[in-house]
């Protein structure tokens, strides 16, 4: 949806077009630019985000905006910005330029503001641009840590808080204690996960050290590497919605096609920088399971969320 210069849509007004939001964005963008910046138009991106999202257009740059009306919105956006900065500093990853020093808060909620980028949408990507996603992810994974986890700050997986503190001495220890069991508790507490499936996840957690494959060196992770969290420009892949820690590279690879398939060029691009273990295909569902549980916890009664109960059943079926 686009609006004419200097106007706000009258029909089904988007939350980002409310005057209080527009004023807050104009103020932040003006400070960021060092001179007055004004909104001249709007593009609605709600269909690609879990928050109200869009681009407020202006000159010489436009601003991508996400809105969270919840009590932890500012905390969530702060963690996202810290994640972007960590990936830039430790891996040289391309991430969006923040507008301002952090989220903007007001009676409207909390806003995340980033300089908008000239995007090549997924339907128009060339094979080289798909490969650039794989290369960018593999390059991030070349940054190594001493332990699985992240001591500096915690994050979020979607709206769910995510504890990054190191746990145990192996990847299986960390994955079970900080990813799998917390998401299992969320799904059980939601009332959307049948008891027999919860028991199956618990059994799998107990067996994970025997089935998770070779112990990996802790690699820096995107943390929520599904394909919609990468943006491609004409020249490179840009990482979005990051929730980093150190861990198993396969946990990022498993999420690339978590919602929808990606072309093989993504994995080809990854292999241009780093190998993928032949056993990954057999372990893929292990690393998706915490994500399936998160979907059930947050959205388990919707048309989108209900199928994930079946995916949990399939993922745990071989570990009875």
Parallel, antiparallel, or unpaired: how do β-strands 53-57 and 219-220 relate? Answer: unpaired
Consecutive H or E run containing 219: strand 219-220
| Arithmetic mean of pLDDT over the chain | 94
239 pLDDT more than 80: yes
pLDDT computed for residue 5 by the predictor:
32
CATH topology of domain 15-115: Phosphorylase Kinase; domain 1 (3.30.200)
pLDDT computed for residue 7 by the predictor:
40
pLDDT computed for residue 221 by the predictor:
98
End-to-end Cα distance, the chain: 50
Q: What angle do CA 248, 87, 175 make, to 5 degrees?
A: 25
pLDDT computed for residue 2 by the predictor:
27
Same fold, 15-115 and 122-319: no
How many Cβ atoms from other residues are within 10 Å of residue 272's Cβ?
A: 10
Q: Compare 211 and 9 and report the one with higher pLDDT.
A: 211
% of residues, the chain, pLDDT over 70: 96
Range from 4-8, 71-75, 115-119, 237-241 carrying the lowest mean pLDDT: 4-8
In the chain, DSSP assigns E strands to 41-44, 53-57, 63-68, 104-106, 109-115, 155-157, 160-162, 219-220, 230-232, 237-239, 246-247
At 26 the three-state DSSP class reads helix
pLDDT tier, 275 (very low <50, low <70, confident <90, very high otherwise)? very high
pLDDT tier, 8 (very low <50, low <70, confident <90, very high otherwise)? very low
Report DSSP state, residue 212. S
- CATH code linked to domain 122-319: 3.90.1200.10
Q: Among 222, 198, 215, which residue's Cα sits nearest to residue 283?
A: 215
Q: Please report, for the chain, the start and end positions of each structural domain, with discontinuous segments joined by +.
A: 15-115, 122-319
How far is it, in rounded angstroms, from Cα 278 to Cα 165? 30
pLDDT per position as a tens digit, 158-214? 999 999 999 999 999 999 999 999 999 999 999 999 999 999 999 999 999 999 999
Report DSSP state, residue 304. T
């Amino acid at each position: 949806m686009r609006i004419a210069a200097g106007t706000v849509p009258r029909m089904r007004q988007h939350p980002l077009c409310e005057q209080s939001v527009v004023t807050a964005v104009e103020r932040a963008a003006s400070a960021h630019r060092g001179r007055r910046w004004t909104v001249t138009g709007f593009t609605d991106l709600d269909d690609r985000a879990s928050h109200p999202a869009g681009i407020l257009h202006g000159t010489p740059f436009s601003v991508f905006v996400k809105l969270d009306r919840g009590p932890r919105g500012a905390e969530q956006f702060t963690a996202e910005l810290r994640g972007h900065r960590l990936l830039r500093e430790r891996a040289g990853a391309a991430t969006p330029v923040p507008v301002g020093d952090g989220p903007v808060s007001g009676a409207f909620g909390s806003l995340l503001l980033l300089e908008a980028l000239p995007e090549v949408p997924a339907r128009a990507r060339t094979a080289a641009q798909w490969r650039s996603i794989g290369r960018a992810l593999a390059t991030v994974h070349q940054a190594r840590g001493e332990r699985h986890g992240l001591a500096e700050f915690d994050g979020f997986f979607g709206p769910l808080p995510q504890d990054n503190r190191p746990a145990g001495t192996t990847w299986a220890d960390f994955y079970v204690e900080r990813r799998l069991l917390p998401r299992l508790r969320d799904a059980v507490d939601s009332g959307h996960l049948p008891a027999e499936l919860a028991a199956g996840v618990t059994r799998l957690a107990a067996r994970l050290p025997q089935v998770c494959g070779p112990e990996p060196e802790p690699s820096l992770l995107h943390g929520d590497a599904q394909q919609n969290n990468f943006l491609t420009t004409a020249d490179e892949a840009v990482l979005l919605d990051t929730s980093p820690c150190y861990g198993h590279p396969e946990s990022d690879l498993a999420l690339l096609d978590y919602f929808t398939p990606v072309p093989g060029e993504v994995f080809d691009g990854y292999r241009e920088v780093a190998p993928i273990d032949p056993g990954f295909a057999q372990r893929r569902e292990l690393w998706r399971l915490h994500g399936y549980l998160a979907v059930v916890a947050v959205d388990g009664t919707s048309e989108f969320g209900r199928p994930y109960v079946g995916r949990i059943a399939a993922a745990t079926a071989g570990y009875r």
